[in-house]
Amino acid sequence: MSRGSYEQMLEQLDAELELTSETNLVRRTAPPEVQLTQASTLKIVAVRWLWPGWLARGKFHVLAGTPGTGKTTIAMRWAATCTTNGRFPDGTHCRGGNVLIWTGEDDPADTLAPRLLASGADLSRVYFIQGTTEAGKLRSFDPARDIHTLERQAQAIGQIALLIVDPVVSAVAGDGHKAGDVRRGLQPLVDLAAVLDCAVLGITHFSKGTAGRDPLERVTGSQAFGALARVVIVAAKDGTDAGDDTPARRFVARCKSNIGPDGGGFDYQLDQAALPDHPNVIASTVTWGQAIEGTARDLLGAAEVNETSDTDERQDAVSFLQGLLKNGPVAMLSIEADAKGAGYAWRTIQRAKKELGAKAIKTGLNGGWVWALPAEGRQTTPKSATQKAGSLRENLAAFGQPGLHGINPHQHGDNDVEVF
């Protein structure tokens, strides 16, 4: 190469380097730009409902309530409906698909899968998220790190209709009472719902000591849980129907919806079902009842007032019955008459009897029934069904009830008698 050619090549390289430097400088100093979209260019679309008014594709939802209301069982029932293209409580036909479940509380093998089966689910369409394998080791699933991996695998499965997160607070790596931490933790799930076009349902509890407040404010943790959700559903149990044999009334209701109507709901019962193909396995399931009207706050308020009133009445009945029985057995007819006079329902007195551990004793083959407290519940020397015959006769005769005088106890020794 001649000296002239060599110098010409160097000049060309210098020019290219200078141009590259200027371009990089422009790139480094270019100001940021906010992306603006003109509203007139948007394509208007309708909300895509999985269950019209309740579960929307591409949206985040919350199901909240007090412990014991069966929130997870309700979610499994909805999941089963999705996997079989079944019907929701209002009779709406579900155009469902596959379901993803991420749980940190219940075991899939002995709890969730049986509940799904009891609800009629197609288990081949349900996938449990049970961790992430990285470098040959299994670790806990972390939405912040693993959401794109989950997205890729979910898209490979296809037709994802519903993602259940139980409890939803598991998605928050920081403080569940701080709005910023909650929003950062839930945003990957919100984004995933949009990408997969599926409904995301997060399950959580009510905070303790919040009865009477707005249901949205009762969702445990930061209010960001309820704020991010497009629909918030509450589950509750009415204490007034609780008894020895009658199950408590339960219901679900919408307390918030940014994309449809709120209020209204459905009664339901929790039932136990044996699984024919799985001996000794019994699982809970939901049986839907009638549609109900009213706001979630009014429905919850009525249930909780009833529960409080019912609890107070039972406590009063317990004190009343304990006062009657504290000195020894009392004829049941006498108790019934006294309770009626005091304004107590007989069923309430029966529940009080159960709570006190009182026993019903038949006084002979043709005699009436008496109720008696356990020995530790009486104030005087116990007069149980096993005691001196003379003392028992005196005690029973003192009640002045027909059929209790002159009973003939069966002797079982020098001092013991049995009045059955």
280 vs 400, more confident: 280
The H-assigned helical ranges of 99-247 are: 113-118, 143-157, 179-196, 215-218, 224-228
Q: Is the dihedral of CA 385, 387, 391, 393 positive or negative?
A: positive
- Quick check: is 258 in a domain? yes
Interval 74-97 mean pLDDT: 96
- Quick check: is 188 in a domain? yes
| 402 and 290, same domain (yes or no) | no
For 296-327, what is each residue's pLDDT tens digit?
Answer: 988 888 877 655 445 556 777 888 888 888 88
Distance, CA of 133 to CA of 73 (rounded, Å): 29
| 375 and 284, same domain (yes or no) | no
In this prediction, residue 157 has a pLDDT band, given cuts at 50, 70 and 90, of very high
Residue 26: is its pLDDT beyond 60? no
- Quick check: is 62 in a domain? yes
| 278 and 412, same domain (yes or no) | no
For 224-274, what is each residue's pLDDT tens digit?
Answer: 999 999 999 999 988 654 444 567 789 999 999 999 999 999 999 999 999
3-state secondary structure of 339: helix
Interval 396-414 mean pLDDT: 37
pLDDT, residue 10, reads 61
- Quick check: is 256 in a domain? yes
In this prediction, residue 130 has a pLDDT band, given cuts at 50, 70 and 90, of very high
| 209 and 140, same domain (yes or no) | yes
Interval 116-135 mean pLDDT: 95
Where a domain ends, among 278, 306, 334? Answer: 306
| 65 and 207, same domain (yes or no) | yes
- Quick check: is 4 in a domain? no
| 330 and 218, same domain (yes or no) | no
Distance, CA of 253 to CA of 291 (rounded, Å): 10
- Read off the pTM: 0.67
Antiparallel, parallel or unpaired: β 249-257 and 231-238: antiparallel
Tokens 């116990």 belong to which residue? 382
Residue 400: is its pLDDT beyond 60? no
| 271 and 367, same domain (yes or no) | no
Close Cβ partners of 354 (under 8 Å, ≥ 6 residues apart): 244
| 258 and 344, same domain (yes or no) | no
| 265 and 357, same domain (yes or no) | no
Distance, CA of 234 to CA of 238 (rounded, Å): 13
Q: Which CATH number is 289's domain given? A: 3.40.50.300
Give whichever of 26-30, 193-197, 208-212, 319-323 has the largest mean pLDDT: 193-197
Distance, CA of 125 to CA of 52 (rounded, Å): 22
Beta bridge partners of 199: 162
| 178 and 94, same domain (yes or no) | yes
Distance, CA of 135 to CA of 145 (rounded, Å): 15
The secondary structure of the chain in percent helix, strand, coil, rounded to multiples of 5, reads 40, 25, 35
402 vs 38, more confident: 38
Look up residue 151 and give its two tokens. 């997205």
Among candidate residues 237, 240, 300, the one with its CA nearest the CA of residue 269: 237
Q: Is 57 exposed, middle or buried (0-12, 13-18, 19+ CB in 10 A)?
A: buried
In this prediction, residue 405 has a pLDDT band, given cuts at 50, 70 and 90, of very low
For 336-360, what is each residue's pLDDT tens digit?
Answer: 888 776 777 787 888 888 888 898 8
pLDDT, residue 414, reads 33
Q: Which of 2-6, 219-223, 275-279, 301-305 has the lowest average pLDDT?
A: 2-6
5 phi, psi to nearest 5 deg: -65, -40
| 281 and 173, same domain (yes or no) | yes
What's the alpha-carbon Rg for the chain, to the nearest Å? Answer: 34
AA identity, residue 376: E
392 vs 48, more confident: 48
Q: How many domains does the chain have?
A: 2
Q: What letter does residue 285 receive in the DSSP assignment?
A: E
Q: Which domain holds residue 352?
A: 326-418
- Quick check: is 192 in a domain? yes
- Quick check: is 216 in a domain? yes
| 181 and 286, same domain (yes or no) | yes
3-state secondary structure of 323: helix
126 phi, psi to nearest 5 deg: -115, 135
- Quick check: is 55 in a domain? yes
